[in-house]
A and B are shown apart, each in its own frame.
Chain A
């Protein structure tokens, strides 16, 4: 089976700033990989290469074995789930219509059914929520809708860009729980950008730590904690309270 997502020696500059510096990463089908790093480390830029919101200057991006550049950008995006930090719901569309967005763009006949099913999957009762405006929801509910929207057409891959970053600690915990529930029930291939090492450890199968446009280490959470490859990775783990400084 081909890799769901693959980046090979990808680089990108924004004017004088090097955002990605020869980055390579692979995500297998059914796997959840977290990109962890501080602001400006290049993690969001790498994520956005996979739905062509960013075009790399060099290197190769493959999605399901096909080079990204060979797929029409709009077509690629319609087959790639996407959850931004602020939800990005269309404020003038009700929850049901927001959730049905991608199925409607794809021309699927059962768009509404898919939307409702997707809402139920993230823990929202469709008949209570489908007719509401986004402005009538809490922040956590809005993120749930954003996840439901990303999943409504059963895309092979979901890209999540700091999906829980703007939520309070309790709501964030609930949403992480819901995400793990989804992963348990279905094959979910996900690339998750987060600055929160604890979240990465909790949700991901593998973690890639990024710094200054490069990947410092890619490893499973257990391996990362046991054998941090660099002092920077160690420092991140210590700061997150996952490792004690003396180890």
Chain B
């Protein structure tokens, strides 16, 4: 019985060493959530994962802070579904949204060309359907901007989207998945203008400008206030048929904040109507092109607009874009370290839970082989659900943050562990298993003294696979505000900041190596001698 006990001991020891610090860290990273009474909860300000949304959310946050409120920031939430879902479920309190998006993507109503009518409609419908309030618009519109390179415009004489439709057969489009799927995006545009590009590539927000500038695609869907339009000297084609609805930016406020802090609503309303398109484009450019820190740009923007009192001593620190990556990492070391720890918590807690379920389940299935394949296959099906979709499905149940991220990572870890446990146990040294049975070991003794120790390396291989995948998948937790190394990746993508992306991606890669190394040592510990 010795190897069983020693195997168990190693597993237990590993469990204690992983879980206890993990739980401590979780507790530590959420002191506010754990200790504060609900009435005095911080206001949770969120954004969607692109530059302007980060900047507006930061402006909301600073405005609230200057009025004495405590603010918790959840920047870069997945996309419209996740940000709005989080607001609806009360997981966040406010985020910047656009009236056109509210009308078409959320309410699924037809476009209205008059901006004021659009605003009145979303304000009325959101209040009636969800109890969510649109504050009066901030003042500028940020509509879709169909953009091409300057030489493309010259070569094909493109000024309007109608011109583009005429020449579309020569051109390849790169559109964001969001745009390709929305009624106010490509499907509607194609119908309104008869637009049929030679090909449509799906491009992420973060790379589409580079793809256009580099010539991989000829047309993209930009935002009219994007700083990037100027940076790459692009031509925005006129929407001559007025297809795109008005997209006025405004603060979208959840029902809890409306009830609990009317003064916060008042503070946020002070931003209504004061940001024009020119101001917004300039601020975006400072963030996206000049690489100034979001917080500093938000601050100076608010000062410029007279919302915050100018501090004479205040210096706008530039995100020194010429410094080396090493320098950048050194300067952000404490942040990166805490994100890494947070990442490790996500990975280890979800992995441990998956081990605790999948290994016993694998043992059980070996005893009822008839149903084993169908059970394992259905667990495998879960693997095929795209992670963003899974997170979106779980939103109504689990909200945003740590819990849904842990659940998703747990679900994704199950399959490799279950598959390897079952196969390892089933195929373990058949000659030894049959001799052990023939000499009078009970089925339980055969399982725990023969099959399980002999399957240990195979089971560990499954756990290692799950762990490494898990480290990568956990970066997506940033989309639901769970933190971790995905945060700088999402923010870096939104702000076109390569060093910021790397400051998340490199530690994540190192973490994957480290986790695999540690589990390799555990594997050596649990692999019995003699094999």
Q: A78-B439, A92-B453 are in contact. List 18 more A-B contacts (CB 8 A).
A: A74-B440, A74-B442, A77-B438, A77-B440, A82-B438, A84-B434, A88-B431, A88-B435, A90-B449, A91-B454, A92-B528, A93-B3, A94-B529, A101-B436, A101-B439, A105-B440, A133-B530, A135-B531
Among B439, B442, B530, residue most surrounded by chain A Cβ atoms (within 10 Å)? B439
Among B429, B434, B436, B442, residue most surrounded by chain A Cβ atoms (within 10 Å)? B436
B437 within 8 A of A: yes
Q: Are A90 and B436 in contact (CB under 8 A)?
A: yes
Q: Are A77 and B454 in contact (CB under 8 A)?
A: no
Q: A84 and B530 in contact (CB under 8 A), knowing A77-B440, A102-B439?
A: no
Q: Are B429 and A51 in contact (CB under 8 A)?
A: no
Closest Cβ–Cβ distance, residue B333 to chain A (whole Å): 45
Q: Specify the chain A residue showing the minimal Cβ separation from B527.
A: A92
B441 within 8 A of A: yes
B122 within 8 A of A: no
For residues 438 through 453 of chain B, which have their beta carbon under 8 Å from a beta carbon of chain A?
438-442, 445, 449-450, 453
A77-107: CB near B (< 8 Å → 1, else 0) gives 1110010101111111110000001100100
Jot down 8 A-B pairs with beta carbons below 8 A, ordered by A. A75-B440, A84-B431, A90-B432, A90-B436, A90-B450, A101-B441, A133-B530, A135-B530
A134 within 8 A of B: yes
For residues 108 through 163 of chain B, which have their beta carbon under 8 Å from a beta carbon of chain A?
none
**Binding site of B, secondary structure by majority: helix, strand, loop or mixed?**
helix
Q: A91 and B531 in contact (CB under 8 A), knowing A84-B431, A84-B434, A86-B431?
A: yes
Q: Are A105 and B530 in contact (CB under 8 A)?
A: no
Closest Cβ–Cβ distance, residue A67 to chain B (whole Å): 19
Among A53, A84, A133, the residue within 8 A (CB) of B529 is A133
Q: Specify the chain A residue showing the minimal Cβ separation from B445.
A: A105
Q: Are A134 and B530 in contact (CB under 8 A)?
A: yes
What are the residues of chain B within 8 A of A79 when measuring CB–CB? 440
A62 within 8 A of B: no
What are the residues of chain B within 8 A of A195 when measuring CB–CB? none
Among A53, A78, A82, A92, residue most surrounded by chain B Cβ atoms (within 10 Å)? A92
Closest Cβ–Cβ distance, residue B402 to chain A (whole Å): 40
A149 within 8 A of B: yes
Give the interface residue-count category, chain B.
20 to 34
Tell me the bound Cα distance from A53 to B92 in angstroms.
64
Among B429, B435, B528, B531, residue most surrounded by chain A Cβ atoms (within 10 Å)? B435
Closest Cβ–Cβ distance, residue A207 to chain B (whole Å): 24
Q: A91 and B440 in contact (CB under 8 A), knowing A135-B530, A135-B531?
A: no
What are the residues of chain A within 8 A of B449 when measuring CB–CB? 90
What are the residues of chain B within 8 A of A76 when measuring CB–CB? 440
Measured CB to CB, the residues of A under 8 A from B are 51, 53, 74-79, 82, 84, 86-94, 101-102, 105, 133-135, 146, 149-150
Among B3, B434, B440, the residue within 8 A (CB) of A88 is B434
Q: A87 and B439 in contact (CB under 8 A), knowing A92-B454, A92-B529, A94-B530?
A: no
Q: A53 and B437 in contact (CB under 8 A), knowing A92-B3, A92-B454?
A: yes
Instruction: Report the number of A-B residue pairs with Cβ-Cβ less than 8 Å.
Output: 72
Tell me the bound Cα distance from A134 to B432 in angstroms.
11
Closest Cβ–Cβ distance, residue A217 to chain B (whole Å): 28
Q: Are B530 and A82 in contact (CB under 8 A)?
A: no
What are the residues of chain B within 8 A of A51 when measuring CB–CB? 438
Tell me the bound Cα distance from A101 to B440 in angstroms.
9
Q: Are B435 and A82 in contact (CB under 8 A)?
A: yes
Q: Specify the chain A residue showing the minimal Cβ separation from B530.
A: A133
What are the residues of chain B within 8 A of A146 when measuring CB–CB? 435
What are the residues of chain A within 8 A of B528 when measuring CB–CB? 92
What are the residues of chain A within 8 A of B530 when measuring CB–CB? 91-94, 133-135
Q: Specify the chain B residue showing the minimal Cβ separation from A135.
A: B530
What are the residues of chain B within 8 A of A77 when measuring CB–CB? 437-440
Q: Specify the chain B residue showing the minimal Cβ separation from A51.
A: B438
Closest Cβ–Cβ distance, residue B457 to chain A (whole Å): 11
Q: A88 and B432 in contact (CB under 8 A), knowing A78-B439, A149-B439?
A: yes
Q: Are B432 and A89 in contact (CB under 8 A)?
A: yes
Q: Are B429 and A91 in contact (CB under 8 A)?
A: yes
What are the residues of chain B within 8 A of A86 when measuring CB–CB? 431
Closest 8 CB pairs of A and B: A88-B435, A78-B440, A92-B528, A133-B530, A77-B440, A82-B438, A86-B431, A88-B431
What are the residues of chain A within 8 A of B429 when measuring CB–CB? 90-91
Q: Specify the chain B residue showing the minimal Cβ separation from A133.
A: B530
Q: Specify the chain A residue showing the minimal Cβ separation from B456.
A: A92
Tell me the bound Cα distance from A117 to B380 in angstroms.
52
Closest Cβ–Cβ distance, residue A21 to chain B (whole Å): 24
Tell me the bound Cα distance from A93 to B1 in angstroms.
11
B251-289: CB near A (< 8 Å → 1, else 0) gives 000000000000000000000000000000000000000
B352-382: CB near A (< 8 Å → 1, else 0) gives 0000000000000000000000000000000
Q: Specify the chain A residue showing the minimal Cβ separation from B450.
A: A90
Q: Are A105 and B441 in contact (CB under 8 A)?
A: yes
Tell me the bound Cα distance from A71 to B277 in angstroms.
91
Closest Cβ–Cβ distance, residue B456 to chain A (whole Å): 9
What are the residues of chain B within 8 A of A87 when measuring CB–CB? 431, 435
Tell me the bound Cα distance from A149 to B439 in angstroms.
9
Tell me the bound Cα distance from A172 to B85 in angstroms.
75
Tell me the bound Cα distance from A94 to B442 in angstroms.
21
Closest Cβ–Cβ distance, residue A78 to chain B (whole Å): 3
B312-344: CB near A (< 8 Å → 1, else 0) gives 000000000000000000000000000000000
Tell me the bound Cα distance from A74 to B441 in angstroms.
7
Q: A105 and B439 in contact (CB under 8 A), knowing A92-B454, A134-B530?
A: yes
